Protein backbone atom coordinates (compact mmCIF):
# COMPACT_ATOMS: atom_id res chain seq x y z
CA UNK A 1 0.00 0.00 0.00
CA UNK A 2 1.40 3.36 -1.07
CA UNK A 3 1.73 6.05 1.62
CA UNK A 4 -0.15 9.26 0.77
CA UNK A 5 1.99 12.39 0.47
CA UNK A 6 0.17 15.34 2.01
CA UNK A 7 0.85 19.07 2.39
CA UNK A 8 3.01 18.57 5.48
CA UNK A 9 5.16 16.08 3.54
CA UNK A 10 5.57 18.56 0.68
CA UNK A 11 6.72 21.38 3.00
CA UNK A 12 9.08 19.04 4.84
CA UNK A 13 10.51 17.59 1.62
CA UNK A 14 11.14 21.04 0.15
CA UNK A 15 12.78 22.09 3.45
CA UNK A 16 15.16 19.10 3.37
CA UNK A 17 16.17 19.79 -0.23
CA UNK A 18 16.48 23.55 0.35
CA UNK A 19 18.63 22.91 3.42
CA UNK A 20 20.89 20.73 1.24
CA UNK A 21 21.14 23.52 -1.36
CA UNK A 22 19.51 21.19 -3.90
CA UNK A 23 22.47 18.81 -3.87
CA UNK A 24 22.48 15.02 -3.56
CA UNK A 25 24.10 13.98 -0.28
CA UNK A 26 25.67 10.88 -1.84
CA UNK A 27 26.97 11.84 -5.30
CA UNK A 28 26.92 15.62 -4.70
CA UNK A 29 25.15 16.36 -7.98
CA UNK A 30 23.50 19.80 -7.95
CA UNK A 31 19.97 20.41 -9.16
CA UNK A 32 18.23 23.65 -10.11
CA UNK A 33 15.98 24.84 -7.30
CA UNK A 34 12.61 23.11 -7.55
CA UNK A 35 13.76 20.64 -10.20
CA UNK A 36 12.47 17.08 -10.20
CA UNK A 37 15.04 14.35 -9.75
CA UNK A 38 16.09 15.28 -6.21
CA UNK A 39 14.00 13.86 -3.41
CA UNK A 40 13.74 13.70 0.35
CA UNK A 41 14.78 10.17 1.29
CA UNK A 42 13.61 8.71 4.58
CA UNK A 43 15.94 6.14 6.16
CA UNK A 44 12.97 4.84 8.12
CA UNK A 45 10.03 5.11 5.74
CA UNK A 46 7.21 7.65 5.90
CA UNK A 47 4.91 4.96 7.30
CA UNK A 48 6.61 5.49 10.68
CA UNK A 49 5.04 8.62 12.18
CA UNK A 50 7.69 9.05 14.88
CA UNK A 51 10.43 9.72 12.31
CA UNK A 52 8.41 10.90 9.29
CA UNK A 53 9.28 14.56 9.97
CA UNK A 54 12.64 14.00 11.69
CA UNK A 55 15.55 15.73 9.95
CA UNK A 56 18.07 13.14 11.15
CA UNK A 57 15.99 10.48 9.39
CA UNK A 58 16.05 12.27 6.05
CA UNK A 59 18.52 13.30 3.40
CA UNK A 60 18.28 14.75 -0.11
CA UNK A 61 19.13 12.17 -2.75
CA UNK A 62 18.98 12.16 -6.52
CA UNK A 63 16.85 9.51 -8.18
CA UNK A 64 19.79 7.18 -8.87
CA UNK A 65 21.21 7.35 -5.35
CA UNK A 66 17.74 6.96 -3.84
CA UNK A 67 17.18 3.83 -5.92
CA UNK A 68 20.63 2.51 -4.98
CA UNK A 69 19.96 2.82 -1.25
CA UNK A 70 16.30 1.81 -1.16
CA UNK A 71 16.21 -1.11 -3.52
CA UNK A 72 19.68 -2.47 -4.04
CA UNK A 73 21.89 -1.81 -1.07
CA UNK A 74 20.17 -1.20 2.24
CA UNK A 75 23.42 -2.01 4.06
CA UNK A 76 25.15 0.86 2.26
CA UNK A 77 22.33 3.21 3.39
CA UNK A 78 22.91 2.03 6.97
CA UNK A 79 26.63 2.78 6.68
CA UNK A 80 25.88 6.16 5.09
CA UNK A 81 23.50 7.19 7.92
CA UNK A 82 25.90 5.90 10.58
CA UNK A 83 28.70 8.01 9.10
CA UNK A 84 26.36 11.01 8.79
CA UNK A 85 24.92 10.84 12.33
CA UNK A 86 27.69 9.14 14.28
CA UNK A 87 27.08 6.31 16.74
CA UNK A 88 25.15 8.38 19.27
CA UNK A 89 22.96 10.10 16.66
CA UNK A 90 22.18 6.80 14.93
CA UNK A 91 21.26 5.14 18.24
CA UNK A 92 18.99 8.08 19.07
CA UNK A 93 17.27 7.68 15.70
CA UNK A 94 16.77 3.95 16.38
CA UNK A 95 15.18 4.79 19.72
CA UNK A 96 12.97 7.43 18.14
CA UNK A 97 11.70 5.11 15.42
CA UNK A 98 10.38 2.77 18.11
CA UNK A 99 8.63 5.52 20.07
CA UNK A 100 4.95 6.37 19.68
CA UNK A 101 4.02 9.70 18.14
CA UNK A 102 0.46 10.84 17.55
CA UNK A 103 -0.33 11.90 14.00
CA UNK A 104 -1.06 15.65 13.76
CA UNK A 105 -0.85 16.79 10.15
CA UNK A 106 -2.26 20.28 10.81
CA UNK A 107 0.53 20.95 13.30
CA UNK A 108 3.17 19.52 10.93
CA UNK A 109 1.97 21.85 8.15
CA UNK A 110 2.27 24.83 10.52
CA UNK A 111 5.73 23.79 11.75
CA UNK A 112 7.29 22.96 8.38
CA UNK A 113 5.70 25.85 6.49
CA UNK A 114 7.15 28.25 9.09
CA UNK A 115 10.54 26.52 9.02
CA UNK A 116 10.67 26.67 5.21
CA UNK A 117 9.60 30.30 5.19
CA UNK A 118 12.38 31.19 7.66
CA UNK A 119 14.98 29.22 5.68
CA UNK A 120 13.93 30.91 2.43
CA UNK A 121 14.17 34.32 4.08
CA UNK A 122 17.65 33.52 5.41
CA UNK A 123 18.77 32.35 1.97
CA UNK A 124 16.99 35.25 0.27
CA UNK A 125 15.06 32.96 -2.07
CA UNK A 126 11.39 32.91 -2.94
CA UNK A 127 9.07 30.78 -0.84
CA UNK A 128 7.68 28.00 -3.05
CA UNK A 129 3.97 27.67 -3.75
CA UNK A 130 3.02 24.34 -2.20
pTM: 0.93
List of residues 6+ apart from 16 with CB closer than 8 A:
40, 55, 58, 59, 60
Q: Round the average pLDDT of the chain to a whole number and report it.
A: 94
So what's the pLDDT on residue 72? 74
Written as one string, the DSSP assignment of 72-84 is I-HHHHHHHHHHH
What is the distance between the alpha carbons of residues 123 and 57, in angstroms, rounded to a whole number? 23
CA distances from 42 to 59, 68, 109, 126 (A): 7, 13, 18, 25
Residues lower than pLDDT 50 in the chain: none
What are the residue ranges spanned by the domains of the chain?
Answer: 7-123
So what's the pLDDT on residue 116? 98
Amino acid sequence: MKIKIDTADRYFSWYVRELADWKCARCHRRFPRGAPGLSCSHYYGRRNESTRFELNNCVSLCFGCHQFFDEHNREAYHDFKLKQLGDKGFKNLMIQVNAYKKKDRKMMVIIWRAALKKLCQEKKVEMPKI
